[in-house]
């Protein structure tokens, strides 16, 4: 339960951080939006006639996302210690 909560909060922190980083594009704090993306530009498609299987992965990360991840990881550590789980 503890690891699941920490993982969920870390992913939530990453999502919030990337969103905040993208919100600062064009401002004086545009350094929060510096980053890159990893993954497939075009997904892999396997067409078997009856069923089509599409596989893809794409992840965007920026400095704001890393900061959000760290903040939410510390928050998760505090919450799990507070709940004693």
How buried is 50 (Cβ within 10 angstroms: 0-12 exposed, 13-18 middle, 19+ buried)? Answer: exposed
Q: Enumerate residue ranges in the chain where pLDDT < 50.
A: none
Alpha helices in the chain (DSSP H): 2-23, 63-83
What are the extents of the domains in the chain? Answer: 2-35+58-83
Q: What is the pLDDT of residue 47?
A: 93
Residue 33 tokens read as 């939006």
The pLDDT, as a whole number, for residue 70 is 93
Distance (Å, rounded) from C-alpha 46 to C-alpha 40?
15
**Three-state DSSP state, 52:** strand
């Amino acid at each position: 339960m503890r690891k699941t909560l920490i993982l969920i909060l870390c992913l939530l922190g990453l999502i919030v951080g990337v969103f905040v980083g993208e919100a600062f594009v064009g401002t004086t704090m545009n350094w929060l939006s510096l980053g890159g993306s990893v993954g497939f530009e075009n997904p892999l498609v396997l067409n078997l006639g009856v069923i089509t299987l599409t596989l893809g992965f794409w992840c965007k990360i920026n400095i704001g996302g890393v900061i959000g991840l760290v903040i939410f990881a510390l928050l998760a550590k505090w919450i799990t210690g507070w709940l004693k789980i």
